[in-house]
């Protein structure tokens, strides 16, 4: 099973940025833990601060991978283009957020991607990524995927 973890803007600063909200571990460190926890999976990781690069990556893998775990960062609240990209691909996408959006600012409580994803997890810290991977393993894609 091939799964891409896709992170959006500012998530390259995990471990440095607002540790009281996002923790003190870098995503690269956590990704290595995920690879050890899921040795039976082919996990890949991509991060970009650029909306177009995220869309391009969704298009690139969206007809051949078995799942995508996606944290769009702040684009969650603003990007119709990311929502459209998810609708346009076949690979199932699971939305993840480290913080609890319901406890954040009002504008962060709106997700433009939630309704086009197969599931959404927020507020579990980095562990939310592992939960999303488990969900993708339990519910293999109905269409597409390789």
> Catalytic positions, please?
22, 97
Dihedral in degrees, nearest 10, Cα atoms 71, 77, 78, 80? 70
Decide: residue 15, CB within 10 A, 0-12 exposed, 13-18 middle, 19+ buried: middle
* Number of alpha helices (DSSP H) and beta strands (DSSP E) in the chain: 5, 5
Token pair recorded at residue 30: 């956590």
The beta strand positions in 8-63, using DSSP E, are: 42-47
Strand 2-7 versus strand 67-71 pairing type: parallel
Distance of CA 72 to the CA centre of its chain: 6
């Amino acid at each position: 099973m091939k799964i891409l973890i896709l992170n959006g803007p500012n998530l390259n600063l995990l471990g440095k940025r607002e540790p009281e909200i996002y923790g003190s571990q870098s995503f690269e460190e956590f990704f290595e833990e995920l690879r050890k926890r899921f040795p039976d999976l082919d996990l890949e990781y991509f991060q970009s601060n650029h909306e177009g690069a995220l869309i391009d990556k969704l298009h690139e893998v969206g007809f051949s991978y078995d799942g995508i775990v996606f944290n769009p960062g702040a684009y969650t609240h603003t990007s119709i283009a990311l929502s459209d990209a998810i609708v346009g691909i076949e690979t199932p996408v699971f939305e993840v957020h480290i913080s609890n959006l319901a406890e954040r600012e009002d504008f962060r409580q709106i997700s433009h991607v939630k309704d086009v994803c197969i599931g959404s997890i927020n507020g579990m810290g980095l562990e939310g990524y592992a939960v999303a991977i488990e969900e993708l393993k339990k519910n293999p894609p109905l269409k597409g995927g390789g």
